[in-house]
Structure formats: C-alpha cells, structure tokens
Structure 1
C-alpha cells in the first residue's frame, strides 16, 4: 500500500519554482484531488460529475468530520510504517517467493531420490524398512511414509547423528525391489528436503535462530497495519472515474501520479491475501504466536491429537505430534504385530492415501496419519496397539473444531500446499506483487523530496501533532485498541512505542533549533 500519499513535481531534476505550469494537468493536493486553480488557468472538463451520494464528493469544509481529522494521522502512520517496516517486508516477500517455487524445484533437484521406474508389484513395507536399516545401521527408524503413487519411493525417517536434532534422516527406498536410492535431511511434518528447509529457515529467521524470528514477527505484526491504512487512504481519495479505484491509470503521465496509481490499484488487489498472510504468519511467531495459542485454546479451537497411550510403561514417548521429526525417540520393546499388519488395520479404519506411519515408543502405540493437505483434505488418524492390533483411538478431521479446521487450512495455504501447484503459483504472484508495491512506495517517497538548491533530501511526511485534531470519541477508542493490540503483539507495541519516542525527541530538538534561531 502507499508509503506516502503526497504530491511532488514529476521532474525531480528541475527546482519546483522553475518548472513550467502544465495547464492541461490538474495539480493534486495531499490526497491526490485537484488543487484550487490559479487565476486565469483554464478549467478542464471533468469526466464525471460528483453527485451528493458520491463518496468522492468533498466534505463541507464548514463541517469537518472524523475522516478529515483521521486522514492526516493515517498518512503519517502509513508513511513511517512503510519506510521503516518495508525492508523487513521486502526480505519476507523475497524469501517467500523463493519458498513458493521450491516445491517444484525439489521434484527436479531430488528426482533420483523421489522417483523410480514403475515395477510389477511392491514388496512388503517391513522389507523396505529393513533395507533402510541395513544401509544406515546407526539410525533409529521413527516413521515411514509409504509410496502412495506409482513410481514414487518410500521414505524411511530416522533419528541419526548425521543430521541436526530437530531434523530426520530421510532414506529413500525403491518399493518394488528394496533398493536404497539415497538419503537427505528432512524437516517438519511437510517433509521439507534441504532446499526447501534452507529457504524456510531464511524466511522464518534469516538462519539466526530465535533472534532472527524477531524480523518475521515484526513484518507480520505491521503488515496488516500498512495494508489497512493503505486501503483507507486509497478509498478516501477523490477520483474523476470510479475505475481508477481498481485499475491503474495508464494515461497518467510518468512520475509520482502514475506510480501511485499502480501502487494503489495493485495494493487493492493484493490486500485481502496480504491480510491473510499477516494473520497466519503471526501464528508461527514467537511472542504473538503464544498469545494466539492461548486464545485459540480458550475458544475451544485446539487441534485434537490422537491418543496413542497403551497403558504399558512410560507414556511420555514423543514424536506423535509430528510426522516423524527428529529428537529423542525411545524404541518400543515387546510384542509387535509389525508394519504391514498395522497398515491393514489402519486401512480398515478408513485411513488411506498419503500416509505417515509413526513407529511406537515405550508406552505409545503406532500412529497412522493421513497427510494429504490438498483440497479436499484427508487428515484422519488412528492409533494402534503394537502388541495385539487393538485400535486405541481414532481422530477424524471432520470432527475437528471449526477454529482448528480454519487454522489448519490457513497454515497449509500460507505454506503453499492447500491447493498444490495453484496455491504455489498464487503465492509467487502475491510475493512478486508485494515486492513491486514496496519499490513503488520508495519511489514515491524519493519523487517528493525537496529539490531546491540542488540539496539531496528525503521525502517529507505529514506534519507532527495530527493526532491532536482527532475528536475525543475517535481518539480514546483508538488508543484503547492500540494498547490491546500492543499487548497481544508485543513486538508491534514495542516498535510503535519506540517510534513515538524517537519522533517526539526529534520534534523537540527541531523546535529547540528553531527557537535558538
């Protein structure tokens, strides 16, 4: 959305005082509306005459409303938010663009591990796992992803010293003959391989760990502010033709006005999707994410987890919350009906398609989960006692609370898996559009810089103190909402408070210099 919404002569190389007036072009005010005409200037014929119910009709200056007082504050907030937060958003958008393309890139880059010639029939799953164990005896099998399509490999996930603790060693086995095709590090429930894992960590924390997560949380916390502020400013502009709201004005001459037209129109198209990314991105954040989890649990929206406790031994075994992630995995000892029998039982319970079989730990049974997150979703799960094949628990996605369903769909859509390739292409287009919005915003800031006397200066924001003009009935609710949001999203609140302090100090110093002169 627009970083600033102020006019600037289109020729930055010529001082404003020396630029010749262009009478056919109506100059703009701060909101882009026609400025009062100079005496003797020909009056252009408008293409649309505002009517009393036309939102573009200016308010009666003798009766200033809340919008006339709120708009300068939005301009200043949008200006500073855009200037200061745009670098974080740019990194997030660029890394998100690469991540959205990584799904298809993985299929090409790791085709040897992922694909095999189609054979006549597959050997039992237990033999495929044994082949992986023989090839990597130092690893401990935690989960198995059976091949669910012809020509695919089976993925055997291991806890291994060859990979980091939060990752698994994925061993790829030909399901037709047991040949081990290779091994790669795998991460998370989506089974991201090295390329996508590296891009995911770049997008999430810049490979800086918990400290780097502050960048992505800051971007997600401010993104919705920039988008909503830009929407209000864009809808509040006066325009001669309604189509200028949703379509860039191609007849506009080059310069800031044309850039603003593209910036506002594309921002309008992308607004809803950007708000969605902001909301879903916050669910992964460090501080706001914790508050979201508490709120979601309080509203009964926690995601149900299948109960795999067998009642034998220590039931603290881990790994069932994920699809075989790395970490401390205590192997099961005792009677075991085996993988092949477990798969038969799970399929008898309607668990089919793209599956993850998590092996039992001490006190925990097998967990078989559907992992097809593409629409329509197949995410049912069942727990099976390894001793006798008793079904311990079953969880159906249809029985998830509505909030849990929405959360799951939102996260999968944010990651680009909900609609498969279509989802990934839409994300790529959205990220590219976001990069253009940021570039256009900075360009408008540059074009409205002062150029007199050849001085190199930056663009100017709205004057300070605009909040003082707000009516009390607008100011008090605005302060209350800001305080609540600042508490719920701590990085947003702290960064906003820091910006206000810096701005106040800068204003005080500037006033002191003026007084001294």
Structure 2
C-alpha cells in the first residue's frame, strides 16, 4: 500500500522549487552587485585616482571660491550638491545638472583646477547600486527585488525544515561528502552552505529589506520615530528627508529618512536689510563656505555632503552617512539665515533605528573596515554557491523529460510546521503573502482544469 501524500506538504514542496527558480537570478545579481558596492572605496581609488587624489598645498580655497571656478567652467549647470574634501589629499566634488544630465565634477581644493567629470548615473558604482536596488527600472524593479528578497527568506526558512538532520551524523549537513559524485555532491553543497549560511543570509535579506520602497517604508513608519518637540517649532515640507535619496546615490542615512523636511523662511532674507537692498527671496543669503563653517561648529565630522536648497523655501541639508552609525548626522539649515532648523543624530535614533543602522553598516561592510568587507563578500560567495548548487540539484532530480518539480520525498519531518512558517512569513511580508495567494489560486485552477480534461472512466 502506498504511503499517503500530505497534500499541503506537496504544495509547499512545489512552491519551494518554483520560488527557488524565481529567486535564484535575483540572488546571483544581488550577490555580484553587492560585492562591487562592498569594495567601493578601494575600487574608486583604483579606477579614478586622478579625480579623487590631489597633492596637498599650504592653503586651500574656500567652498565659494571653488563654486565660482565650477560656475566659470560650466556656466549653464545647476549646482545640486557639494562634497567638501574628506581629507587633506582628497578632491572636492560638486554634483550639477547640466542640460538634464547629472554630472560629478572633481576640483583640486588647493589650486581650483577642474580635475575631470563623471556621469553620476553611468559609472560602475552608480550602476551597481541602481541594479542592486531597482534593476534600473525604478519602482517596478524595487518591488520585484522586494518580492524576490521576501521569497528568499521563505526559501531559507523552509529549506531549514526540508534539510533538517534526520540522523546523528553530520555528513551532508555539517560538512559535504567530498567523496560523493553527481547529484549527491551537489545536494551536500546546497545543504551545507544553506545550513551554515542561513543566519547570515537572513541577516543580509532582512537588513536589505529595510531599504525597499514598500515593506521598508512601512517598517520605518512603524518603528522609526523622532521626538515631536524636535520638529514642532519649525515649518515642515510635505516631503520627508528620505526624498533626498536616489537609486544611484544615498544622501541621508536610513534612520533619518522618515524625519520631516523643514523649510526655510524667505522673510529671513530681509532681516537687517532695508527695502532697497533686499535680496531676492529665491537667492540664498549664506554661501557654501558659511554652511561648511556651520557644519563644523555643529560638530559634523569630515566626509559630509551639502545638498543645496530647491526653491525659495528649500533648505541646506548637511548629511553624513558615516561608517560608524553613531557618527551619522543629518542637519537642516535655513538657506537665508543659516539657522539650524533640525538635526537628527544617533542620540535621536530609537532602539530599532539604532539596531537597523548597525545592521546596515554591517551589510555594507563599513563597520569594521576590511574585515567586515571580506566577511560580507564571503556571505555573497556562499549565496552564489547555494544558488548554483540548488539549480544544478533541481536539474539533476527533475522528472525525466520534464521541466517540473522533482519527485516528492516522504521522509521529511515537520512539514506542517514549515507550511505554518511560510504562512506567517506571508503575513509579515505582504508582497510575499499576495504572491503566495495568487500562486495557490493558480495552482488550484490548473489542477481543476487537468481534472476536467481527463476522460471519464466507466465502471
């Protein structure tokens, strides 16, 4: 007599494989682009030394003098952002919009010479970051990556159930049987990398999910709050501070994204001036050098960026996404008076925001220098090995002459728990839950059509 097939488990088994086929291309892409971005500091210095490095001199020009040199070289360009030199041997950088094209301009801070330019979107790191976050297709790409990351979490958790050790030996679970050949070797590679890498992969997926446009935004809205009195006394824009971040470039730290964006007071431009000498309401009274001086007085460490005001109510935003999250700063200044309107620092982060910020710093390989970079690169390599071995194992076990799911195994325990966990994850990650429901309905429909198409058997 044949052993009865648990239908729920059979459904979960099919979904595990089909979801794996959907997720694998995304995991490969995320691992490769992630490794590129992990080593951004080293790669940038290797690829663009003539843009990033300068010979120090006795006296540096101030930010307004450098801006004048840039305006002279690019008179039609609109200045968007200024990045002061982070060290004595580093160049200054201006981000401009010229005829609809965003450029990074590099300037020698001592001599005022333009070192060169770079397309802000069309360079290795910008492309890697945009691919990693949006597949270069905006919101749709963000949602696809979020869906793939959510399903990858489901795969990791369900995979632990599927490969849970059933015997006392560690071969094939704790270490691969290298003497094995064919499908068994690939199975061991998949199981062992999954076993040891599960926690690390979950960490990478969950910290990455905090940046997504749907789940990440909802997560931040629930857990990331700031003291109300911090923003009560200043007028606010309807846009959050996170609107300054873009797919190809991060400006403000994650923890500051949900903070309100203050606005400048155009009337402050006229304080202390008679009517004949009033500045135009859309012309900032304070210059870039004054912003840099205010940032230094406010204790902002080197390495920050200055985003220029947009329109008569825009603000200067000084932002530092430091390698150590406790040094992060987001400071908004009135463009006319230079008055600090709001500052978001580590002290204002809630417990969850601090934990996520530390997790993101680890994810990006920033917290512990090269050791952190190498560790995260190792996780990416584990993911690649697990993805490739899973694909090969599926191919070797698929039904002969079919593109379908490998035969169902009946010797695996805890299948009900695995299904329950998948359902809970579907609730925790709504895009996964919605796709889970859609796949279930499609599966039921196809099954009904197959049954309806079978010829009737007479008794």
1:367 pairs with one of 293, 314, 317 = 317
2:61 maps to which residue? 123
Aligned residues: 421
1:195 maps to which residue? 124
Deviation at 1:69, TM superposition (A): 10
Q: Do structure 1's residue 427 and structure 2's residue 376 form an aligned pair?
A: yes
2:72 pairs with one of 131, 134, 148 = 134
1:282 pairs with one of 209, 230, 234 = 209
Superposed CA offset, 1:411-440 (max 9, x none): 444444444544443333322322221221
Matches within 5 A, 1:343-422: 343-360=292-309, 362-372=312-322, 374-375=323-324, 377-385=326-334, 387=336, 389-422=338-371
State the alpha-carbon separation in 1 of the partners of residues 25 and 39 from structure 2.
Answer: 22
Matches within 5 A, 1:90-489: 90-163=28-101, 168-186=102-120, 194-234=123-163, 236-242=164-170, 244-251=172-179, 253-297=180-224, 300=225, 322=244, 333=282, 336-360=285-309, 362-372=312-322, 374-375=323-324, 377-385=326-334, 387=336, 389-450=338-399, 460-462=406-408, 478=420, 482=423, 485-486=425-426, 489=429
Task: Verify the 8 A CA contact 1:306 1:383 in the aligned structure 2.
Answer: no
State the alpha-carbon separation in 1 of the partners of residues 403 and 191 from structure 2.
Answer: 25
Task: Verify the 8 A CA contact 2:104 2:117 in the aligned structure 1.
Answer: yes
CA shift in 2, pair 1:416/1:509, >3 Å: same
Task: Verify the 8 A CA contact 1:103 1:196 in the aligned structure 2.
Answer: no
State the alpha-carbon separation in 2 of the partners of residues 152 and 108 from structure 1.
Answer: 14
Any idea what SS the aligned residue of 2:140 has? coil
2:435 maps to which residue? 495
State the alpha-carbon separation in 2 of the partners of residues 108 and 213 from structure 1.
Answer: 30
CA shift in 2, pair 1:377/1:245, >3 Å: same
Deviation at 1:152, TM superposition (A): 0.9
Deviation at 1:487, TM superposition (A): 5.5
State the alpha-carbon separation in 2 of the partners of residues 335 and 225 from structure 1.
Answer: 51
Any idea what SS the aligned residue of 2:318 has? strand
CA shift in 2, pair 1:457/1:176, >3 Å: closer
Which fold has the larger relative contact order, with Cα–Cα distance below 8 Å and residues 6 or more apart in sequence?
A: 1
Superposed CA RMSD:
4.1
State the alpha-carbon separation in 2 of the partners of residues 384 and 366 from structure 1.
Answer: 5
Deviation at 1:230, TM superposition (A): 1.2
Deviation at 1:392, TM superposition (A): 3.7
CA shift in 2, pair 1:294/1:387, >3 Å: closer
CA shift in 2, pair 1:408/1:161, >3 Å: farther
2:18 maps to which residue? 80
Deviation at 1:76, TM superposition (A): 4.2
Q: Which structure has the greater CA radius of gyration? A: 1
Superposed CA offset, 1:297-353 (max 9, x none): 5xx4x6999869987xx9789989637989xx9997467343334333332222222
Deviation at 1:219, TM superposition (A): 0.8
CA shift in 2, pair 1:172/1:504, >3 Å: same
Deviates more, 1:224-233 or 1:198-207: 198-207
- What runs of 5+ residues in structure 1 fail to find an aligned partner? 1-60, 62-67, 188-192
- What runs of 5+ residues in structure 2 fail to find an aligned partner? 251-262, 265-279
State the alpha-carbon separation in 2 of the partners of residues 117 and 515 from structure 1.
Answer: 84
CA shift in 2, pair 1:80/1:343, >3 Å: closer
State the alpha-carbon separation in 2 of the partners of residues 511 and 258 from structure 1.
Answer: 38
Deviation at 1:515, TM superposition (A): 5.9
TM-score (normalised: structure 2): 0.76
Deviation at 1:134, TM superposition (A): 1.4
Deviates more, 1:87-96 or 1:430-439: 87-96
TM-score (normalised: structure 1): 0.69
